[in-house]
Amino acid sequence: MNGSYFKDKVIIITGASSGIGLASAKLFASFGAKLSLAARSMDKLTAQAAEMSDDMDRILCVRTDVSREDDCRTLVEKTVEKFGRIDILVNNAGISMRAMFRDTDLSVIRTLMDVNFWGTVYCTKFALPYLLESRGSVVGVISIAGFAGLPGRTGYSSSKYAIRGFLDTLRIEHLYDGLHVMIFAPGFTASNVRNAALTADGSSQGETPRDEGKMMTAEECAMHLAKGLRKRRSEVILTPIGKLTVFMHNILPRLTDRLEFSYMAKEPGSPFHK
């Protein structure tokens, strides 16, 4: 892929210390972009950033908990202070969960919404004036769970649906002033999101129930993200099963419900069974 489109563009990436965020940061750095990287773990973030470029003046690391409004404001302010503009905002930070809703403490749902949905809203709100000025791009990394409810992940699906609704509406509001809004929906992608997924009481799951080796890699996912940005697409849905799920959900929703239930019930340690 020709990465000249991203040369010297200022790109904010949340959740940049691992998974899709980290792979995207490495890819954009190789294209010559200027990066503002956000994550909660500053040590991890700076260590990763040092491997991306010999010129650390082109990379800014900002400790950011996206569930905190002030952190998101600071992220944007520091980015503009250092680079003078914002061209692309990638709202990637997120967490998952795995439990039946009937068993789930409500604090788990609040945490999912605070990080996934409100983190996207906060960062977008503060970056928007600069994105409008640059006629730039705002991306929401959601999931197939943002198109079709995923059993055992009520909080996760709810937050991803909410992000999709928010960004779809934002796109319409700015239809004629140059803002590019993209919904980016990976299918199952190899990352640590399932290891860190919350259980019914809010504790970390600790291990993934799936074979990560059979999934799309974070690096492949990052390449699709870059292509979608370069083409200024409004929606990108990845993986054959992801595309099939969204298609089936639109035309045969009840059948898709049953197929999803059966598919997810086969996970080792699934919280529900036939």
Catalytic center residues: 156
What distance in Å separates the CA atoms of residue 214 and residue 208, rounded to the nearest whole number? 13
Give the list of residues 6+ apart from residue 67 with CB closer than 8 angstroms, or none.
111, 114, 115, 118, 119
The 10 Å Cβ neighbour count of residue 201 is 11
| Closest of 199, 214, 213, 222 to residue 270, by C-alpha | 199
Q: Partners of 235 in the beta sheet?
A: 183
* Contact yes or no for 33/86 (Cβ under 8 A): no
Q: Provide the 3-class DSSP secondary structure of residue 4.
A: helix
Q: Nearest 5 degrees, angle CA 116-CA 118-CA 223?
A: 45
